[in-house]
Structure 1
Amino acid sequence: MSTQTDYIPGKFYWSFLLPKYWNVWISICLLMLLAILPWSVQRLISHGLAKLAWTLLKSRRKTTIRNLEVCFPEWSEEEVYQQAQQVFVDMMLGTFETLNAWYKPYWFKNRVTIEGLEHITQAQATGKGVLLLGTHSTLLDAGGYICSQYFEPDVVYRPQNNPLLDLIIYRCRATIYKSQIDHDDMRGLIRHLKDGDAIWYSPDQDFGLKQGIMAPFFNVPAATVTAHRRLLKISKAVAIPLYFYRYGSEKNPKYHILIEPIVENLPSQDELDDATRVNKIIETQLRIAPTQYMWFHRRFKTRPEGYDHIY
C-alpha cells in the first residue's frame, strides 16, 4: 500500500503484517474474546469500563454534562449528573452490543420488535430511494444489525484513520449493510438513492456553517447540516425518520425499531424551516431514550458572533 489515496476499503494489504500494526491485531483478538463472553459478564465489564472512562475522559465528561444541562433544563443538577454517567454506561454497553452484532448475531434472536416498516416498503415499492433520518446512537452497528433483519439498509460512514482498523470494521459491517458509502462520496449517495436503496443517515452533528445553518436544537441554536436537502432534491428520494433503542431490563434487554411516516415537503423552499423540522424529529427521537445518544460530542461547538458560548 503506497499511499492513503491508493487504499481500497475492505482490501487486505500485506503491509498490515508490519510491526506498526501489531497493537491493532492484539486489540482485535481481545475484542473477539470479549465478544464470546455471556451478556452477564459483558454487562459487568461495561459498567467497569464506564466508571474508568468517566474518571479518565474529563473533557468528554464535561461535554456530556454540559449538553444535558442545556438540552434538559427541567432536570435537576443531580439528575443531569446521573444521566451523564448513564451515557457512559450505555456507550460501553453499545460497544458490546456491536461486538455481538459482528461476531454472534444470534444473541439478538427474539429480542427485537419493529414498528412502521410499511413506510419503507411502500416507498421502495414505488421506486423511491429512502433517506433514513437517524442519530448517532450508542448502539452503533447493533442498531444497523437489528434493522437488517427486516430490510436491507445502506450506511454512510467516515473511514478510520488507521487502515487496518478500517479494514476490520468495513468487513464486519459488510455482514450487516447492503452498501457502505463514504460520507464524502456525494455521487455515490445519490446513485444509491436513485437505485431505490434505504440509507441510514445521521444529520445530527456540528460540522460548522460551511455545510449548514444555525437552527434550534432543544431550543438552542446549533449548526445543522443541510446536505440531505440536496440529496433528496437531486435523487427524488423521500426522508423517513428511523430510531432504534434498548428497553426493558438491562440484564435481559430488548430492542425496538421505530420507523415514522415520510416527512412531507422535504426539501421545501425554506432551508431554515427544513433544518428546524429535522432537528425536531431528532429531538423527539432522543427523548425516548435520552442516554442512548453520544452526548459526549460537542453538538454546540459552532458559535457565530452574537451567540453565547456553550462550552
Structure 2
Amino acid sequence: MSQQQSYIPGEFRWEFLLPKYWKNWIAIIFLISLAILPWAIQWRLAHGLAHICWSLLRSRRKTTLRNMEVCFPEWSPAEVETNAKKVFIDMMLGMFETLNAWYCPKWFKNRHHIEGLEHIQNAQAQGHGVLLLGTHSTLLDAGGYLCSQYFEPDVVYRPQDNPMLDMFIYRCRDTIYKHQIDHDDMRGLIRRLKDGGAIWYSPDQDFGLKQGVMAPFFGVPAATVTAHRRLLKISKAVAIPLYFYRYGDIRNPKYKVLIEPIVENMPSEDEVDDAIRVNKIIEAQLRIAPTQWMWFHRRFKTRAEGYESIY
C-alpha cells in the first residue's frame, strides 16, 4: 500500500495543522476566494495566468506546440501557435470552472444541456455497467459536475502525493461523483461496473507498451492503453463515448455534455483494432473543441521501432 493510501481517502488528519502544511492552507483559502469572483474577473485572471504560464513553462509550451504540429498538419505555424496559446487559456479557465463546480455550482444554472442521455439510461436499464470513454479535458471537474446534473457519474482518480492536497481534492470531488475509484483499485472498478455504475474513464494518455499497443492517433503511431478491454470483458459492461465542452461566447459561456451510442463489439478479438477505434472516437471529440484538451502532455513519448522521437 502506497504512502498516500495509508489512510482513508478524504480523511482529515491532525498533522495537517502542523506548520509544514500552512502553505497548503493558505493556497486553499486563496483558491476558495477565487471561486466567489464574478466570471468577468475570473475570465481576465485566466488570460493573465495563461500568458504567464506560456512564458514560464517552456517545456509544456514546446510539447503543446509539437503535439499540435503533428496532429494538425493542415494548420500553418501561426495557427498552431494561436491554438497552443488557447490551450493554456482553456486550462486556466478550466481551473476557475472547476472551482465554481466545487464551491459555486449555481453559476452553471441554465448554462448547460445534454445530448444522448438515453444511451446511458438504456444500458443501465438492461443491467449493464457503463464505461464512459472520455478525455483529459481542460474543463477538469467542471465536466464531471455537468454530468452529475443528468446522471450519477463515478470517476477514476490518481491520488496526490501530498496527503493534505489529496484530502482537499477528494472532499471537493465528493460533492460531484457518486464514487471515486483509485486507478490501482481494479477490483473496485470492476465491482462498480458489475453494479451498474457509469464510470468516467480516459484512455487518452501514453503509459507505454506494458499497458497498451501502438495505434494511430491523428495518424501518428501512439502508445494506446488497452486496460478498458479487460474491464469490459470481465464486468460485461458496455463502452459509451462521453465528451463535454464549452461553446459560444467565452464571456458568457454555455456547456454541452455529448453522449454517443454504445461502441459495438467492444472488446473485439483484436486489441489493436479496438485501440484504433478508441483513438478515432477521441479524435472526433477533440475536433469539436480542439483547444479544450491537455495538449501539454507528451502523447507521443513512446515511439514505435524505426520512428524518430517527436520531442
TM-score (norm 1): 0.99
Q: Which residue of 1 aligns with 2:283?
A: 283
Cα distance 1:71–1:32, how it changes in 2: closer, same or farther (>3 A)?
Answer: same
Q: Which residue of 2 aligns with 1:88?
A: 88
Other structure's SS at 1:196 match: coil
Taking the TM superposition and a 5 Å limit, the aligned residue runs for 1:1-311 are 4-311=4-311
Amino acid across the alignment from 1:133: L
- Kindly provide the CA deviation profile for residues 100-127 of structure 1, in whole angstroms up to 9, marking residues without a partner as x: 0000000000000110000000000011
Structure 2 CA distance for aligned equivalents of residues 248 and 159 of structure 1: 34
Amino acid across the alignment from 1:248: G
Q: CA deviation at 1:7?
A: 1.9
- Kindly provide the CA deviation profile for residues 4-33 of structure 1, in whole angstroms up to 9, marking residues without a partner as x: 452221100001111111111000000000
Q: CA deviation at 1:304?
A: 3.7
Q: How many residues align?
A: 310
Structure 2 CA distance for aligned equivalents of residues 199 and 77 of structure 1: 38
Other structure's SS at 2:46 match: helix
Structure 2 CA distance for aligned equivalents of residues 45 and 3 of structure 1: 35
Amino acid across the alignment from 1:213: V
Paired residues of 2:4 and 2:160 also in contact (CA < 8 A): no
- Kindly provide the CA deviation profile for residues 205-256 of structure 1, in whole angstroms up to 9, marking residues without a partner as x: 0000000000000000000000000000000000000000000001100000
Other structure's SS at 1:7 match: coil
Structure 2 CA distance for aligned equivalents of residues 24 and 130 of structure 1: 36
Identity percentage of aligned residues? 78
Structure 2 CA distance for aligned equivalents of residues 57 and 141 of structure 1: 23
Paired residues of 2:35 and 2:100 also in contact (CA < 8 A): yes
Structure 1 CA distance for aligned equivalents of residues 41 and 216 of structure 2: 41
Segments of structure 1 that go 5 or more residues without pairing to the other structure are none
Structure 2 CA distance for aligned equivalents of residues 4 and 104 of structure 1: 29
Other structure's SS at 2:73 match: coil
Structure 1 CA distance for aligned equivalents of residues 191 and 140 of structure 2: 25
Cα distance 1:86–1:159, how it changes in 2: closer, same or farther (>3 A)?
Answer: same
